[in-house]
């Protein structure tokens, strides 16, 4: 077994942040397996100079490819980010979500099990399969309900969250049935650098700068726990290093905000940073659109387990994380232009036209 980890989906938002963070202090190499769908972008990783990093283009559903990579590279761990992750896209076209999130995770688990089973006993004890998932598998909370814990029953409400719930169950089953040494993390809403601008925070930043409408679903009171992506990556590293095999760890920032609060905070930052934009104050651009079907009202995470067992705590407040995020998008116009292609514009026009 080599001093190497295999990261799936490492060209996506969270995966690329994880790899960049991993290569800074770690001597362990990274092999990044990514299909490079619309949200995967190798330019996210272009700053890497290390010879400890390599990229492999391919699909986790391709079991022959996964088998060949595991046999050749002999990683000591798999960190599984690869997933279709946008709720709106899952509503319009759930097929890709079942294929990647369910079938892809199954394929990866099967090949990981075969690889792990053939390892020498000492290497078997060290190997880990870390599966990155979401708080959305737990369903929706009422205003006064306690936050989701690791024992909250699953109740997914969208094709996306159902596909992630299915993958979580498969990971759990492969541990309990076959003994595969798995770890699962369920995180709250991430934000930060390199997030594809169909998601709320980057979409609002970019629209506001251009004087475009800021579309807010329903009454804007849907609540999420907002987690800065680098804090999430630090948590994953702790779980991989010290997490108990077979366990699940919830990761969140104890930072519940509703959508209107988020958009208002972005507008306030931009008022100071971009006073010459077409429309200032930027909050004049807020537009309410028809609510998303089955839109969960509130998510919140009980993070006491990871705090207690692994001594992890977020380093960023929401205010500090949001300011870093807004500044990053303003300072990376080339990256923004490269990802907001014709296909992106067509998707956004089609989607929000149907929501009015």
Give the active site residue among 34, 59, 136, 296: 136
Q: What share of the chain is helix, strand, coil (3-state, %, to 5)?
A: 45, 15, 35
Q: Which residues of 1-27 are buried (b: 16+ CB within 10 A; e: fewer)?
A: beebbbbbbbbbbbbbbbbbbbbeeee
Catalytic residue among 34, 73, 135, 231: 135
- Compute the chain's Rg from CA coordinates: 20
225 as an active site residue: the answer is: no
Q: Which two tokens stand for residue 219?
A: 């009454």
The rounded distance, in Å, linking the Cα atoms of 143 and 10 is 35
Burial of 69 (0-12, 13-18, 19+ CB in 10 A): buried
Which segments of 93-158 does DSSP mark as H helices, in order?
95-97, 105-117, 121-126
Q: Which of 138, 160, 174, 249 is catalytic?
A: 160
Q: How many CB atoms lie within 10 A of CB 354?
A: 11
Token code pair at residue 16: 């690329």
Can 136 be counted among the known catalytic residues?
yes
DSSP conformation letters of 38-61? TT--GGGGTT---TTEEEEE--TT
How far is residue 239's CA from residue 218's CA, in Å, rounded to a whole number? 37
In angstroms, the CA 333 to CA 174 distance is: 44
Give the list of residues 6+ apart from residue 203 with CB closer than 8 angstroms, or none.
197
In the residue annotation, 228 being an active-site residue is answered as no
Q: Are 90 and 18 in contact (CB under 8 A)?
A: no
What 3-state DSSP class applies to 308? helix
Residue-wise burial string across 324-335, b where 16 or more C-beta atoms lie within 10 A, e elsewhere: ebbebbbeeeeb
Residues in the chain: 356
Active site residues: 135-136, 160
């Amino acid at each position: 077994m080599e001093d190497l980890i295999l990261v799936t989906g490492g060209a996506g938002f969270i995966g690329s942040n994880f790899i960049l963070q991993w290569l800074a202090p770690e001597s362990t190499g990274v092999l990044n397996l990514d299909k490079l769908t619309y949200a995967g972008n190798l330019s996210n990783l272009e700053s890497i100079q290390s010879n400890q990093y390599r990229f492999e283009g391919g699909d986790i559903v391709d079991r022959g490819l996964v088998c060949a990579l595991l046999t050749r590279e002999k990683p000591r761990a798999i960190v599984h980010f690869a997933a279709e992750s946008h709720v709106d896209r899952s509503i319009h076209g759930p097929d890709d979500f079942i294929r990647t999130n369910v079938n892809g995770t199954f394929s990866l688990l099967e090949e990981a099990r075969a690889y792990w089973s053939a390892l020498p006993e000492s290497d078997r004890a060290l190997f880990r399969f870390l599966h990155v998932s979401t708080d959305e598998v737990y369903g929706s909370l009422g205003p006064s309900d306690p936050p989701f814990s690791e024992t909250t029953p699953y109740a997914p409400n969208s094709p996306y969250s159902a596909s992630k719930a299915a993958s979580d169950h498969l990971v759990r089953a492969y541990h309990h049935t076959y003994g595969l040494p798995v770890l699962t993390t369920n995180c709250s809403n991430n934000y930060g650098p390199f997030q594809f601008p169909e998601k709320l925070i980057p979409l609002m930043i970019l629209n506001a700068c251009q004087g475009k409408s800021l579309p807010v679903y329903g009454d804007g009171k849907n609540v999420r726990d907002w987690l800065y992506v680098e804090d999430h990556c630090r948590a994953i590293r702790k779980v991989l290093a010290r997490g108990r095999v077979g366990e699940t760890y919830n990761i969140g920032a104890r930072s519940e905000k509703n959508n209107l609060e988020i958009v208002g905070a972005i507008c306030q930052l931009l008022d100071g940073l971009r006073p010459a934009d077409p429309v200032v104050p930027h909050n004049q651009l807020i537009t309410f659109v028809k609510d998303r079907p089955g839109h969960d009202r509130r998510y919140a995470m009980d993070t006491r387990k990871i705090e207690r067992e692994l001594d992890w705590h977020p380093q960023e407040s929401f205010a500090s994380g949001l300011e870093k995020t807004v500044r990053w998008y303003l300072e990376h116009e080339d990256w923004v232009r490269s990802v907001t292609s014709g296909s992106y514009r067509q998707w956004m026009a089609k989607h929000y036209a149907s929501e009015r």
